[in-house]
Structure 1
Amino acid sequence: MNSLKHKIMSMTLLITLFTAIIIGGLSISTTTDITNTEARKSMQLTSQLKSTQLNSIISRIEQSVDTLALTTVNNISDTKAFQQNSTYVKEYTDSMERTILDFANNTQGALSVYLRYNPEFTEPTSGLFLVRSDVNSQFEKVTPTDFSTYEPTDTAHVGWYYTPVQNKAATWLDPYMNANINVYMVSYVVPIFKDGVSIGVVGMDIDFNTFQNIINDLQLYDTGYAFLTNAENTILSHKNLPMGTSLNDERFGNLNAILNDTSCQNTSIQYNYNNQTKDLCYSILGNGMKLALTAPVKEIYSNSLSLGLKIISAAAIALLLALLLSIIFSRRLIKPITMLTDIIEKTSQFNFRHTTNTKQLYALKDETGTMARAVHTMRQSLRTIVGNIDQVSETINHNVSSLCSVTENMNAMCMDNSATTQQLAAGMEETSATTDHISESIAYINTSTAQISTLSANGNVLATQVMERANTLYDKTALAREQTQNVYMTVKDKTNLAMENAKAVDKINALTNVINNIASQTSLLALNASIEAARAGDAGKGFAIVASEIATLATQSTQTVKDINAIIQEVHNAVSHMSACLVDTSHFLENVVLTDYDNFMDVGKQYADDAHNFQDNMSHIYNAINALAQTTAQINDAIQGINGTIAESSSGVMNIAEKTGDMVKATTQTQQLANTNKDCITELEKIVKSFTLK
């Protein structure tokens, strides 16, 4: 039987079901999309924030070591002396110790700092090595690594030195365990070159816990986590995997390819690992390392699933309530109709007996009650009652209109309060961002100012020294050239004199020839005298003795002349060699030494020009200081912006307070109108009670 009761219940259930399906489906779809999008954005934002935090640490470390390397190079005034003079190297090392210690103390997480020299022209343990056991202790100077005990190809022990030098570029090294203090370290090394010569390296060892603590503190959902790899996708820090694990393995699926694709940075990418689908978001840090965040997809989207279940549950509860209410409402609606139908049937049968439970029927305010009270003798009374009801209705309508107006005002105030609150929140966020920017700028200004001050002071001293050395070099070169010119003239004169003396030797040769001829004649004369003495017999014996002595004298003279000739030949050879040497010496002085001194004078002039250029560099440094002053002015502007934002926030708070007071007044008016409506309802109840049957 299609009764009115069943029709009302069916219609109510269908409307409720249709409404629940439409609203629930839209709610589930919309909330799922919004929740999933916000989950991905939250993961990406977390990755960017942690990357920014790590890059800030990396940037400070690089800035510290790069500045230290620049200071190290600028303080080397003589590259050749550094290569050849161990005393110069020691004095330079002692002068740098205080500077290196200051840089190490002002670098976050620094456990050691070192300045090592090229072992090709310095001692194998030369340089500085400062180390401490933890970031709270003091640095101590220890003996540096002995290069002579390792081959340059031994990257495990001395790769920290030779790799940056060969690459001629600053290098971040992978973390390693320092067995002496049982701490993982990561190193940043900068090679030092001066005038094209490799001087050595400057480096710092940083406590790797500085990076690991940031990574380990990051918790994503229930089982999500962050991990760190090097540029080759080898694990450096991971929740479950040991350091050194390569991600280029089949068990990690396409994770290695994702990390090698730079277009995937700061985006959410899905991959499979251990039969589980995960979302990954990674960023490449300033030192080439990669920070990755990963979490199971079901955990990331668990909020949307939970919200969908809640919406479905709410829809089911709404359907049950609708079913229950439709049953109750249909029963209450059909019961008086059934009673009224019974009265009408009795009336059609001219049965006017009093019916039980009629008071409940007459008390109804709907059409059924009106029909039950429709008695001919009460028509005039009903007109009066209707008039009274109309007046009360107008009063209620007026009050309801007032209530609607007040409600609209309250809604507008609430919307204004919400907008003001959002503006206040945005102002606070802007204030926070500006404060962070100011902090970074102030830190950079402090560091840059200290560095520029040091460079300016050193530059002024070096400029003065360079000018003095240039002038001294030029003066000494001019004096040396003048002295060399004098030596050249003296050698030239002595060379000419030696050539003349060589001609005297030729005269001696002529004299020795004359003496040799005389000796020959004397020998011939002695021979003739001996012949004549022999002819004379005994009378010529005395003459024979004289002749014999003359012959002996002639023989000795001849031998002496030979000896003199031999000595003269040696003297002649010596004079010839000396003359040749003097000629070569004069040519060397004229063509080489004097030319070199001319070049030295040109170099001295160039040295002076370089000194002027150095002074120009000091002017550039002065301009850099002015740039820092402009940066300080920008920071002041940022501070003024913060003050303006805070003032706007204060104004917003005052505005909220005023509107809250207006809302309180509006609430009071609403209460008054509600009391008025209550009185009207009481009046209506009195009118309804006037409907009684005799």
Structure 2
Amino acid sequence: MMAKSKGKLKEMRITLGQKITLCVLAIQIITILMLAGFVVSKTTSSARDTAISNMKAITQERAQIVRNYVKEAENTLTAYSRAGEISALLQSPTDEKAFAAAQKYTETFSGDVANLEGLYASEWNTHVLTHTNAGVVGITTREGDPLKALQDSMLKAKGVYNTGIIISPASQQQIVSLYRAVLNDAGEPIGLVGGGIFTTGLIEILDGLNIEGMTESKYCMVNVKDGAYIFIDDPEKTAQVAEEDYIKSVIASVADAKEDVSGSIEHKMNGKSYISTYYYMADHGWIFFINNSASEILASTNEMKTVLIILSVVALVVLSAFSFVFIRRMMKPMAKIENSIVALKDYDIRENEEIRKYGRRNDELGGIASAAESLIRSLRDIVFTLQNSCSQLDSKADLLQGSSGNLIESVVDSVAVTEEFSASLENTNTIISNVDDEINKINDATQGVLKNISGSVETSNSVIDSAHMMKEQADNAYNTGQETLEKTKSSVREALESLKELAKINDLATEILKISGQTNLLSLNASIEAARAGEAGRGFAVVAGEIGTLADTSKNTASAIQILCQEADSSIEAVNECFNTIIEFIENDVIAQFKDFVDKSTLYSQEVNIIKEQLDSAEQDVQQLCAYVVQIADDMRNVKTITGENEVAINTIVEKNESTSLIAETIQKQSEENRDLAFELQKLVDNFVQ
């Protein structure tokens, strides 16, 4: 079950190419979204600003139409006030001819004015002198404070006094109400003219103007002074105070303005968003509004936004498809390289033409392919080197094992020879002890002879008998000494010949040094190859280090063996010299003395008389002999001491041989381990060369 799960996970593994594709796709999505958002935001903002700016321009244009309409009405009133007939009537209000002329002019002039409600001239007290409606002539329109306020306003206006757009009391229709003071040459008021122009003409003009793309747009105009509507699409709200918050807000913002003000405001009505632009005509105190829904104003912007979103999606799809195809083609060589590298886990280090082909590229994939090819080539070189090293290590291990076996056999033989030599030394010590005893006896006998010679001068017969006995003993001692000397010489020669066998140990140690040098060189080569292999050769580097350590240990052991052999050779040479000295002394001195003693004893037995005469001389000779015997005894004790020291040296050699045997066994065991290690390395190499 676990194996199936792992297999599914392996099949679901996301490749590097897929990851790169996803990353590029994510970057493209984010970039397109950010770009689209930025463009849409900027476009929307720009389109919105443009739409609002256009609405402001249209609003200002409509306000200018209103202003022109009013200005035209004012110009009409001014022209009427400057007519000669009107001036003549005002200067002579009671003149009938002047009245008739003025009335006729009024009727004629009014016929040329469109949308005219009425036109009249009156005295300064508003007493009507002429009117388009003759029935109104003769009435007074204002008195008291209203009259005074009107007079002051006209004088202050220094021209046409526009009371605004109002509902006419006479016609109950909306008019532009105008007044103008008429002055004489002295600048004093002599009367006034007044009139009203219906706003229907203005409304027709405004209604006839359409705003492209704003079918829902509506306009209105509000009087800032009282907040009442002047124009609005709902007739019932005309002259009513505006209740909308956005209108109140605009009125509050321009109430103190001395110049025209243009602006826009966003607001909601009945849950729907609107944008209103306004233009404040400071000279009249009017605000002209154009109002439209935000959705219609920004309709083109929304369409553009939709188009941009569609284009962004299309661009994203195209870029994604192109990126997928491009990345797939770019990552195709990577799959080949990956398969070649993954094949290394199965010990496949054969040459790969695909990698070699991609290695000629000059991009990163070419570098990876070249590196992979170099890695495989290096692995092949390492495997070849390991294979050769394993063969050499195996052969050297066999050679080392054979040499260590020979060393063990040589050490065993050396131990046996040393033990024999030790036994010979013990035998020599025994002989030397016997010789020492005999010399002591000779010394005692010589002392007795000396006493007998001194005390028995007169008893020559006893002396002759003693001389014969001494001669026999001397002959026996001489013969015994000769035989003992020959045996000692033979034993010493045999022992020395046996000790010379120790020189073979030195030869074996020299051979071990050669083997350790070769092993150390092999370890060095293996370490170099392991270093080239890097991480893959770390295990082999450990093996190479152990081989180097083994070589150093073998070298040190062989050197120690050589030193021991040199010490043994020195000891053997010293023993040889000592024994040669002893033998030479016995042959040249002791035997000669014994021979001389025998001759003298013979001479004593033949020449008894001469013995008597020469007893004094014999006494001196015997005393000298005693001195010689004492000297010989001392020398024999020294020889015994030397042989004891040699025995200790031999025991030391035996111990060293045993130590050498243990070292040889260790070398043999290590060589077996080296052989096992070489076998394991060979198995590892075989995985690559199958």
- Please give the TM-score of this superposition, normalised by the length of structure 2: 0.40
